[in-house]
Amino acid sequence: MNQKLLDEAKDSGTIIPLIELLQNKELPIETVKEIYFSFKENKELVGQVAMNLSLRTSVYARDKEYSDTIVELLTHIATNPADMGARWAVAKNPHTPIDILRVLAKDDVNLVRALVCANPSAPSDILEKFFNDEKIVRDALSGNPNTPQKLLKILSSDNDKMVRMRLCENSATSKEVLESLLQDTDPEVVKAAEINLGKHA
- Whole-model pTM: value is 0.83
Cα 200 from Cα 174, distance rounded (Å): 9
Query: Environment class of residue 34 by beta-carbon count within 10 Å: exposed (0-12), middle (13-18) or buried (19+)?
Result: middle
Type of residue found at 107? D
Sign of CA dihedral 51, 13, 68, 86: negative
Per residue of the chain (201 residues), give pLDDT as tens.
566 676 666 666 678 888 888 998 888 999 999 999 988 998 999 999 999 998 887 655 556 667 899 999 999 999 898 887 889 899 999 999 999 999 999 999 999 999 999 999 999 999 999 999 999 999 999 999 999 999 999 999 999 999 999 999 999 999 999 999 999 999 999 999 999 998 876
For helices 68-78 and 29-38, angle between their N-to-C axes, nearest 10 degrees: 30
Output the DSSP codes for 173-193: --HHHHHHHTT-SSHHHHHHH
